[in-house]
Amino acid sequence: MRAVLGLDTSCYTTSLALAHEGRLILQKRRLLKVEKGERGLQQSAGVFQHVKNLPDLMEMLFEEARGVEIEAVCASARPRPHEESYMPVFLAGVGLARSLAAARGVPLYLTSHQQGHVRAAMVDAGLPEGEPFLAVHLSGGTTELLKVEGLNIDLLGGSRDLHAGQFVDRAGVRMGLGFPAGPELERLARKGKAQSVLPSWVRGMDCSFSGAETQIQRLIEQGERSHEDLAAEVFSCIARTLAKMLGEAVRQTRLGHILLSGGVASSTYLREILPGRMERAHVRAALHWGKPELSGDNAAGVALIGSEWHKWNPND
């Protein structure tokens, strides 16, 4: 079998994937290590871990995919599909992708981390084929509201300061949870009760989480409410904020389908409470969620994009 190899080296995940004619075959990924109590990694430390992880993951991938012939290579070269978008960690994946493509004499395609997230979330999400849609990219490094038409992504709005994932991680780490804190904070939230005490700041299609983050840090310090209740407040704030932003986006664009992608969007708790918030805000649009296993950082979308581009341009 011939396949396209996808590589993605984001801030916190090294990942590889194989795709053939728009179908995902196999993927391997490994989270970067963050010391307990820390809220992230310096870019240099991230690059170092990617360089260590890539050979291991490549060996694991092709141990399972024996006999697969690489017909093209695709890598995420930047966070977003804009020339000024840059982050050093992506150089690790791009460097290996260029080397492999040159050694094998096959085409090299470059995409963005964000395009990869959106494409991975589209798998079996039930979106009407060929129609434009709204997308939300929720992660530790991105909270953006997008209009997607084919592979064209237009930025409509997003966070002016902290991203949803940063909000979750900062609250969780302050509570003594590991990094990234999302899964552990979600488990706490399911045992708690939110009373909407955190501010939800939205202007048009832009939002801010800095005020809510300041307030949650103060509440944790005061110790008057349980960590379970405060965890529920964090997710409640994110859901209320999204509902307001999406309501405005639907009104302005008149698009009726919304795709949610990114690591924060993999939260089953958020998936449960957001529809109710959308209903309360009278937002009439269908929500589509990426598969949880394809919502976190992964190379699956990158490989799928490369496979589709190669199908259109087989002689590149």
Please choose, from the candidates 226, 192, 230, the residue with its C-alpha nearest in 3D space to the C-alpha of residue 212. 230
In angstroms, rounded to a whole number, what is the distance separating the alpha carbons of residues 69 and 62?
Answer: 10
What is the rounded average pLDDT of the residues 21-37?
A: 92
Pairing of strands 13-20, 2-9: antiparallel
Q: Has residue 149 got a pLDDT over 80?
A: yes
Q: Has residue 151 got a pLDDT over 70?
A: yes
Question: For the segment 169-210, what is each residue's pLDDT rounded down to a tens digit?
Answer: 999 999 999 999 999 999 999 999 999 999 999 999 999 999
Q: Has residue 316 got a pLDDT over 90?
A: no
What is the rounded average pLDDT of the residues 270-279?
A: 96
pLDDT of residue 311: 85
Mean pLDDT of the chain: 95
DSSP per residue, 176-225: T--SS-HHHHHHHHTTS-----S--EEETTEEE-HHHHHHHHHHHHHT-S
What are the Cα distances from residue 288, in Å, to 89, 120, 128, 292?
30, 12, 10, 12
DSSP 8-state class, residue 33:
P
pLDDT of residue 38: 82
